[in-house]
């Protein structure tokens, strides 16, 4: 920035430039009175994002200084837009009052007129460290993650700073993408120079990721001497945790947010899904962005933000433990069977504030009196729910656990009820949030202030009578304080020296005065008001201390309320859509009767249309279904709906089917639909092949795979060959459950050699030249693809369709004469028997010849050439003689 080179900046600009350098890559919000100002390039960036006026202020380095600003009272809304645009913002606040600045100047021997109020960066606002209600989405968790690699394993520390929930886990390097896809963090912190860091990661000093330091930081945060009570943490986990806590300390400038005791997540405890699968199934976000059209948008019936966030977590990490899944399903069943009680519960939950996030703000030092009121009201309602639920008969185990965590806050709620007014304000600077009767001294100060205000009102009436000016008023503003105001035409008598009034200000149509008695009463109000504000601030800090001391118990209650909301919301969705409770089994079967796609069914219902349900029955001897049929016939929908039903079942949610028995799935893969990734130089076909390769490398016999039109992005021969080989590999090598949709009718011949493969198709008929799509799945191969009929439906011009029909007839005639492109494929050996056909490995002599050809002899030094000869000699076989 050229302007920073000015050799003689003003004191204010020198202070700004020092803070600007400290802010690094963040925009700097520089507090000046009632505004946060931005200068230089920061101002240009912010003005463009916020669509606010860009002005100039003075000169620096011989050029005007670009400048823009936002009001302090509405800064949160502007911050939200900047964070959403990918910016980080440093907040530079005034850290001393003007009188303190003058006292400092006096101590330092400086002129008081030249002194500058001290400012410092008090916080960095980043995407992953938000706690303010206005900056967060109520129904979406805001996760900050830190990554650290140690001896080939990657430790992950993740925290939702708004609620304090912290999870530590470890994974192999090739699984990091799937873990990050599940967490969906807003911000990722990694050690500097780490080459595997994701795009847009924040790089921090490697020293902050030391595992020993991480353990010490966690001990210090939680006030313990050992972490044994929290879990068995690996060195990689502790390394990531250390980096996470250090980053939070950095952005908070020494003030940490709420951090609950860390929980270990075992990698084998949840179903694995990579980023491609999550995107394909549109679990939390549709392809168009947002919740509309996503799975959670179709499932979520929670009435609280915390419940929706927990449901999103459930859907992102389906369980692998049958007992845990059944516990969630039993909770849903309990509320599904009790519609009247369910409605009452949801009404109560709907009125409960977001306890977790209110607690997070209070512990982070950003709480308000309103947050204390929310904690009081929410904990009181939780206690009421406890009394109601404690006597409920036939409680499932999970509900009993939830009920036990809803109580235990009687002393705190009693204190907050006595101390805080029923409807506390969002700001505490003006006071008025401590209830009458809580502090006798505060009540007395308020009485003094009230008496003075009544005296001023009486004074106004008396002055009107004495002066004969009926329009005389005593007013107040932040600059003059209390003053007497009369119209300009009545001002002359009050200007007289013996009138008892002192002129203060002349306006366009009015004149303002003061009087000795008004000054005395105003002083009484100011003094009493100042003491009252100080007393309320002291009480606020005391109340915050009580909340902080009970933070873990409050967080447990907030989590219990969220789980209760998820159970009741899932029951509401099940009743609304006539969804069934799935049976969960340990085997590798899959039996779904009359399954439906939850998102598509909901979209059709809005237009009054009916979704056509279909069955899916996979077993060890019938584990791969090859599905043909026309475009728009419902193949992709059928594939996705079964994957979603598996996901929902293992997340502990009822499923859209009349019956379902789900054998546990350890990994779910979906290769359905693909798009260009131009930013990474990948075509649609390349993306498809990358996803297919991941499936073939990572799927296990307990996985569930859905594949749609593998090989469609290349030539017919290449595509068919790839589809054939992939189908054989899934069937014979992986041996997992799989639904494989294709337009290659030639693949039907696989049924002759693959004993666990069966043929199916989506039904369609042509009626009087029109294509009728029945969306029903039937046994047997597809007889044709109806591509021309679909083209006609899409509006392709009739001459083009007619020409295509003539070309098709010619091609079909050729196929009948030659046997088609699949001729001879039936004679191929199975994939599992191809090892003998693989090329023999190169002999040592052949390897030596290849190495010699590849060597750049002119570039070798004598020493390098000698080393190379020794290396080649070692690679040759020894003489057996």
In order, the DSSP letters of 167-207 are EEEEEEGGGHHHHHHHH--SEEEEETT-TTPPTTPEEE-GG
Do 317 and 182 contact (CB within 8 A), yes or no? yes
What is the reported pLDDT for 875? Answer: 67
* pTM metric for this prediction: 0.85
DSSP E strand boundaries for 85-152? 89-94, 119-125, 143-150
Q: Is 758:626 a contact under the CB 8 Å cutoff?
A: yes
How does pLDDT run across 373-426, given as a tens digit for each residue?
999 999 999 999 999 999 888 899 999 999 999 999 999 999 999 999 999 998
The DSSP secondary-structure symbol of 161 reads T
Long-range contacts of 577-580 (CB under 8 A, 24+ apart): 577/601, 577/656, 579/654, 579/655, 579/656, 579/657, 580/654, 580/655, 580/657, 580/658, 580/659, 580/660
pLDDT of residue 113: 63
Please report, rounded to a whole number, the percentage of residues in the chain having pLDDT higher than 70: 92
What pLDDT, on a 0 to 100 scale, did the predictor assign at position 2?
38
For strands 757-767 and 624-628, give the pairing.
parallel
Per-residue pLDDT at 4 exceeds 50: no
Q: What is the pLDDT of residues 152-208, one digit of tens each?
A: 899 999 999 999 999 999 998 888 988 999 999 999 999 998 888 888 899 999 999
Report the mean per-residue pLDDT for the chain: 88
CB 75 within 8 A of CB 54: no
The CA distance from 776 to 778, in Å, is 6
Question: What average pLDDT does this structure show over 784-807?
Answer: 81
Q: Which of 242-256, 454-468, 706-720 comes out lowest in average pLDDT?
A: 706-720
For residues 46 and 793, which has the higher predicted lDDT (pLDDT)? 46
| Spatial separation of the C-alpha atoms in residues 11 and 15, rounded to whole Å | 6
Percent of residues, the chain, with pLDDT higher than 90: 58
CA distance 223 to 505: 59
Contact 75, 29 (CB under 8 A): yes
Q: Three-state SS string across 472-492, please?
A: CEEEEECCCEEEEEEEHHHCH
Distance CA 189, CA 320 (A): 29
Tell me: pLDDT of 15 over 60: yes
Least confident range of 194-203, 545-554, 596-605, 737-746: 194-203
Using CA atoms, how far apart are residues 860 and 627, in angstroms rounded to an integer? 58
C-beta of residue 37 within 8 angstroms of C-beta of residue 65? no
Per-residue pLDDT at 881 = 39
Give the CA-trace dihedral at 297, 299, 305, 309, to 10 degrees. -90
What pLDDT is stored for residue 112 in this prediction?
65
- With beta carbons less than 8 A apart as the criterion, state whether 433 and 425 touch: yes
The DSSP result for 658-707, as a single string, is SEEEEE--SBEEEE-----BGGGTB-HHHHHHHHHHHHHHH--TT-EEEE
d(CA 299, CA 297): 6
Give the pLDDT band of residue 829 (cuts 50, 70, 90). low
With residues binned 3-state (H G I as helix, E B as strand, rest as coil), the percentages for the chain, rounded to 5, are 50, 20, 30
| pLDDT score at 827 | 55
For the ranges 534-538, 657-661, 693-697, the maximum mean pLDDT occurs at 657-661
With a cut of 80, say whether residue 785 has pLDDT above it: no
pLDDT one-digit tens code per residue, 25-45: 999 999 998 899 999 999 999
Q: What is the DSSP letter of 351?
A: T
Question: Among 142, 170, 247, which residue's Cα sits nearest to residue 201?
Answer: 247
For the cut 60, the answer to whether the pLDDT of residue 302 exceeds it is yes
H or E stretch including 81? helix 75-84
Q: Which residue has the higher pLDDT, 230 or 810?
A: 230
How many C-beta neighbours within 10 Å does residue 726 have?
A: 23
Burial class from Cβ neighbours inside 10 Å (0-12, 13-18, 19+) for residue 395 reads: middle
Instruction: Choose the weakest-confidence range: 54-68, 425-439, 505-519, 665-679.
Output: 665-679
Residues 594-613: what's their mean pLDDT? Answer: 94
Closest alpha carbon to 566 in 797, 390, 328, 307: 307
What separation in angstroms does the CA of 374 have from each of 257, 354, 402, 443? 19, 8, 20, 24
Q: Give the per-residue pLDDT at 679.
A: 41
- Residue 678: per-residue pLDDT: 42
Give CA–CA dist 167/237, Å, rounded. Answer: 10
Helix (H, G, I), strand (E, B) or coil at 374: helix
CA angle 105, 106, 109 (to 5 degrees): 85
- C-beta of residue 361 within 8 angstroms of C-beta of residue 367: yes
pLDDT higher than 60, residue 765 = yes
7 has pLDDT over 70: no
* Span 485-502, pLDDT tens digits: 999 989 999 998 888 899
Structure tokens at 628: 């043909």
Give the per-residue pLDDT at 102: 79
By C-alpha distance, which of 270, 240, 295 is closest to 175?
270
Q: What angle (nearest 5°) sits at the alpha carbon of residue 269, between those of residues 263 and 273? A: 110
Reading the block at residue 405, the tokens are: 């965590």
* Number of CB atoms found within 10 A of residue 641's CB: 27
Over residues 331-358, mean pLDDT: 96
Question: Higher pLDDT residue, 852 or 90?
Answer: 90
Is 440 within 8 Å of 418 (Cβ atoms)?
A: no
- CB of 772 within 8 A of CB of 746? no
Token reading at 42 = 């920061």
Using DSSP, state whether 646 is helix, strand or coil: helix
Paired tokens of 643: 């994957």
Report the candidate in 647, 501, 656 with the shortest Cα–Cα distance to residue 594.
Answer: 656
Mean pLDDT of 213-238: 93
135 has pLDDT over 70: yes
Element (H, E) at 157: strand 153-160
CA dist 681 and 216 (Å) reads 44
CA 640 → CA 337, 589, 612, 614, 710, distances in Å? 29, 17, 14, 12, 15
**Phi then psi dihedrals of residue 457, to 5 deg:** -65, -40
For helices 716-728 and 684-698, what crossing angle results, to 10°? Answer: 20
Chain-centre distance for alpha carbon 467:
66
Mean per-residue pLDDT for 279-308?
Answer: 93
pLDDT band at residue 540 using 50, 70 and 90 as cut-offs: very high
Q: What is the DSSP string of 715-778?
A: -HHHHHHHHHHHHHIIIIII--EEEEE-S-GGGGGGGGT-TTEEEEEEEEEEETTEEEEEEEEE
Cα–Cα distances in Å, from 643 out to 309, 638, 646, 671? Answer: 22, 9, 5, 11
> Could you tell me which of 726, 715, 724, 657 has the C-alpha nearest to residue 689?
726
What does the H/E/C string look like for 290-312? Answer: CCCCCHHHHHCCCCCHHHHHHHH
Rounded to an integer, the average pLDDT of 65-91 is 92
Q: What is the DSSP secondary structure assignment for residue 87, as one 8-state letter?
A: -
Closest CA to 564 of 385, 337, 371, 376: 385
Please say whether the beta carbons of 726 and 707 come within 8 A: yes
Residue with the two structure tokens 């904690």: 375
Residue 817 has pLDDT above 80, yes or no: no
d(CA 35, CA 136): 23
Question: What is d(CA 616, CA 638) in angstroms, rounded to the nearest whole number?
Answer: 9
User: What are the tens digits of pLDDT across the range 699-743?
Assistant: 999 999 999 988 777 777 788 889 899 999 999 999 999 999 998
Distance of CA 612 to the CA centre of its chain: 34
Kindly report, residue by residue over 833-876, the tens digit of the pLDDT: 544 444 556 667 777 777 777 676 766 777 777 777 777 776 66
Hunting for tokens 């600009």 — which residue is that? 13
């Amino acid at each position: 920035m050229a302007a920073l080179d000015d050799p003689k900046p003003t004191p204010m600009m020198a202070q700004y430039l020092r803070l600007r350098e400290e802010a690094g890559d963040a925009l700097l919000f520089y507090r000046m009175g009632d505004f946060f100002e931005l200068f230089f390039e920061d101002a240009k960036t912010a003005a463009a994002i916020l669509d606010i006026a860009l002005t100039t202020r003075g000169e620096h380095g011989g050029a005007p200084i670009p400048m823009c600003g936002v009001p302090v009272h509405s800064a949160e809304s502007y911050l939200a837009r900047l964070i959403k645009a990918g910016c980080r913002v440093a907040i530079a606040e005034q850290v001393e009052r003007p009188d303190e600045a003058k006292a400092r100047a006096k101590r330092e021997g400086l002129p008081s007129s030249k002194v500058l109020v001290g400012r410092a960066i008090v916080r960095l606002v980043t995407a992953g460290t938000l706690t303010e209600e206005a900056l967060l989405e109520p129904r979406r968790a805001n996760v900050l993650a830190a990554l650290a690699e140690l001896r080939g394993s990657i430790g992950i520390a993740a925290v939702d700073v708004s609620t304090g929930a912290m999870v530590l886990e470890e994974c192999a390097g090739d699984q990091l993408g799937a873990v990050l896809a599940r967490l969906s963090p807003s911000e990722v912190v990694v050690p500097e120079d780490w080459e595997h860091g994701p795009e847009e990661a924040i790089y921090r000093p490697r020293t902050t990721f030391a595992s020993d330091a991480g353990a010490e930081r966690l001990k210090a945060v939680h006030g313990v001497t050992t972490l044994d009570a929290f879990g068995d943490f690996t060195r990689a986990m502790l390394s990531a945790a250390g980096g996470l806590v250090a980053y939070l300390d950095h952005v908070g400038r020494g003030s940490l947010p709420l951090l609950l005791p860390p929980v270990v997540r075992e990698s084998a405890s949840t179903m694995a899904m990579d980023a491609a699968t999550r995107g394909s199934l549109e679990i939390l976000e549709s392809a168009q962005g947002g919740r509309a059209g996503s799975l959670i948008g179709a499932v979520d019936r929670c009435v609280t933000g915390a419940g929706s966030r927990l449901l999103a977590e459930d859907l992102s990490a389906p369980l692998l433990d049958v007992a845990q899944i059944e516990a969630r399903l039993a909770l849903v069943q309990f509320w599904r069977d009790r519609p009247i009680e369910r409605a009452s519960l949801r009404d109560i939950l709907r009125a409960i504030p977001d306890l977790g996030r209110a607690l997070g703000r209070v512990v982070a030092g950003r709480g308000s009196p309103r947050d204390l009121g929310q904690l009081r009201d929410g904990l009181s309602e939780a206690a009421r729910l406890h009394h109601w639920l404690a006597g409920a008969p036939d409680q499932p185990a999970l509900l009993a656990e939830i009920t036990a965590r809803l109580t235990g806050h009687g002393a705190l709620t009693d204190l907050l009820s006595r101390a805080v007014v029923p409807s506390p304000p969002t700001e505490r600077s003006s006071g008025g949030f401590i209830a009458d009767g809580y502090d006798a001294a505060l009540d007395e100060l308020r009485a003094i202030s009230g008496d003075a205000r009544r005296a001023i009102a009486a004074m106004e009436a008396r002055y009107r009578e004495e002066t004969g000016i009926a329009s005389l008023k005593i007013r107040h503003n932040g600059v003059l304080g209390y003053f007497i105001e009369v119209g300009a035409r009545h001002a002359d008598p009050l200007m007289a020296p013996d009138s008892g009034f002192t002129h203060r200000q002349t306006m366009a149509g009015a004149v303002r005065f003061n009087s000795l008695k008004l000054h005395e009463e105003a002083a009484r109000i100011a003094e009493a008001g100042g003491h009252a504000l100080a007393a309320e601030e002291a009480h606020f800090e005391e109340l915050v201390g009580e909340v902080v001391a009970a933070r873990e118990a409050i967080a447990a209650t907030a989590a219990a309320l969220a789980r209760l909301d998820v159970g009741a919301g899932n029951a509401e969705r099940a009743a609304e859509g006539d969804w069934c409770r799935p049976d969960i089994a340990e085997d590798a079967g899959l039996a779904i009767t009359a399954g439906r796609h939850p998102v598509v069914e909901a979209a059709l219902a809005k237009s009054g249309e009916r979704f056509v349900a279909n069955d899916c029955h996979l077993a060890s001897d019938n584990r791969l279904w090859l599905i043909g049929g026309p475009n728009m016939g419902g193949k992709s929908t059928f594939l996705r709906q079964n994957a979603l039903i598996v996901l929902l079942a293992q997340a502990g949610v009822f499923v859209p089917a009349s019956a379902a028995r789900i054998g546990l799935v350890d990994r779910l893969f979906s290769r359905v639909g693909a798009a260009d990734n131009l930013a990474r130089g990948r075509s649609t076909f390349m993306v498809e092949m990358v996803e297919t390769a991941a499936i073939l490398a990572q799927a296990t016999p307990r996985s569930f795979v859905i594949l749609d039109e593998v090989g469609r992005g290349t030539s017919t021969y290449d595509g068919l060959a790839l589809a054939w080989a992939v189908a054989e590999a899934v069937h014979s090598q992986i041996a997992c459950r799989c639904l494989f949709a294709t337009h290659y009718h030639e693949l039907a011949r696989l049924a002759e050699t693959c004993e666990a493969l069966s043929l199916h198709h989506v039904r369609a008929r042509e009626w009087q030249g029109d294509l009728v799509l029945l969306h029903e799945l039937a046994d047997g191969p597809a007889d044709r693809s109806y591509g021309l009929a679909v083209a006609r439906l899409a509006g392709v011009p009739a001459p083009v369709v007619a020409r295509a029909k003539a070309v098709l007839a010619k091609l079909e005639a050729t196929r009948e004469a030659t046997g088609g492109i699949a001729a001879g494929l039936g004679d191929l050996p199975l994939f599992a028997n191809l090892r003998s056909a693989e090329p023999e490995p190169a002999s040592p002599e052949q390897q030596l010849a290849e190495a010699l050809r590849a060597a750049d002899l002119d570039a070798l030094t004598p020493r390098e050439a000698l080393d190379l000869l020794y290396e080649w000699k070692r690679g040759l076989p020894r003489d057996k003689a």
